[in-house]
């Protein structure tokens, strides 16, 4: 009896939460129900952790230089395009950094933001190719917990924002994220162009710092909502703050380990020399 009551309570609460979704986005491909992004992300984990390595283990690593150059160029163009249009509809159009409620009307700008939010969601699924290329190139050292967790969780995050709060305060995250990815894929494009461009990639460690700055700013942007009156759901205040803290810690740990190892290797090299 107690068990059935708990199950019924969970069902009722799930239905209540689902009723809060933005019904303007009902029926959109790959985003209509939460089952779809969850299944896609689980498939991603299966492919990059189990199926992919098994298929490639007895094959030579693929170079993929041409593919990577096209892929990275596309990411640069698309993220740059996203950054411009998000800014055009929001920060260049009277949006408030302090408090901006979600516009659930059929206003033209609000509807355009929904479309851009959908593009962000689809792009995060497209980003799975980052890991697929690592698998095909046998770059196991690049397939870290941080990399896989980040790629598997972000589509779910973006789906939640897209389906429940497509706009308002939540727009800060995709704005800054598209800028970060514009810079990041520019670095990857240069790296894919060959060894002769290695001397221009001295700023790699600052790329990780830029990503950490992103999480700090997104976290602070969400944190301010605890101290001001703003018509924005309380849950998402916690959502943005907690997620930002978690990703900052993971990226900071990665940065410390990666560049501490490089520093140690350089010291050893100098002693040998």
- How many angstroms separate the CA atoms of 165 and 169, rounded? 8
What DSSP string describes 29-43? TTTSSTHHHHHHHHH
- Burial group, residue 250, by CB count within 10 angstroms (0-12, 13-18, 19+): middle
From the DSSP assignment, how many helices (H) and strands (E) are in the chain?
Answer: 10, 0
Of 187, 182, 157, nearest in space to 87 by CA? 182
Q: Is residue 181 annotated as a catalytic residue, yes or no?
A: no
Q: Which one is catalytic: 150, 151, 181, 221?
A: 150
- How many angstroms separate the CA atoms of 188 and 190, rounded? 5
237-244 long-range contacts, CB within 8 A, separation 24+ = 239/160, 240/169, 240/170, 240/173, 243/157, 244/215, 244/216, 244/218, 244/219
Strands (E), 199-258: none
* Cα torsion through 34, 37, 41, 42, rounded to 10: 50
Residue 100 gets the label, from left (phi > 0), alpha (psi -120 to 50) or beta, of: beta
Phi and psi at residue 228, in whole multiples of 5°?
-130, 160
Q: Where are the alpha helices (DSSP H) in 19-166?
A: 35-46, 52-56, 65-89, 108-126, 129-136, 145-164
- The residues assigned a catalytic role are 150
């Amino acid at each position: 009896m107690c068990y059935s009551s708990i199950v019924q309570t969970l069902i009722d609460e799930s239905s209540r939460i689902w009723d809060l979704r933005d019904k303007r986005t009902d029926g959109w491909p790959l985003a209509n129900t939460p089952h779809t992004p969850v299944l896609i992300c689980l498939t991603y984990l299966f492919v990059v952790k189990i199926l992919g390595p098994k298929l490639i283990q007895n094959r030579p690593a693929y170079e993929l230089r041409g593919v990577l150059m096209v892929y990275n160029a596309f990411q640069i163009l698309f993220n740059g395009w996203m950054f411009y249009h998000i800014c055009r509809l929001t920060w260049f159009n009277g949006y408030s950094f302090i408090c901006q409620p979600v516009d659930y009307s059929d206003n033209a700008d609000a509807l355009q933001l929904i479309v851009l939010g959908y593009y962000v969601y689809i792009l995060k699924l497209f980003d799975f190719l980052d890991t697929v290329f690592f698998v095909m190139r046998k770059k196991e050292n690049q397939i870290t917990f941080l990399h896989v967790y980040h790629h598997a969780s972000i589509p779910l995050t973006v789906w939640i924002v897209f389906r429940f709060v497509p706009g308002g305060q939540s727009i800060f995250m995709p704005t800054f994220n598209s800028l970060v990815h514009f810079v990041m894929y520019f670095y990857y494009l240069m790296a894919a162009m060959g060894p002769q461009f290695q001397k221009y990639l001295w700023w790699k460690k600052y790329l990780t710092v830029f990503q950490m700055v992103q999480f700090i700013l997104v976290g602070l942007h969400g944190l301010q909502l605890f101290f001001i009156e703003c018509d924005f759901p309380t849950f998402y205040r916690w959502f943005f703050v907690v997620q930002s803290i978690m990703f900052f810690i993971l990226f900071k740990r990665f940065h410390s380990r990666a560049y501490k190892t490089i520093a140690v290797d350089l010291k050893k090299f100098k002693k040998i020399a």
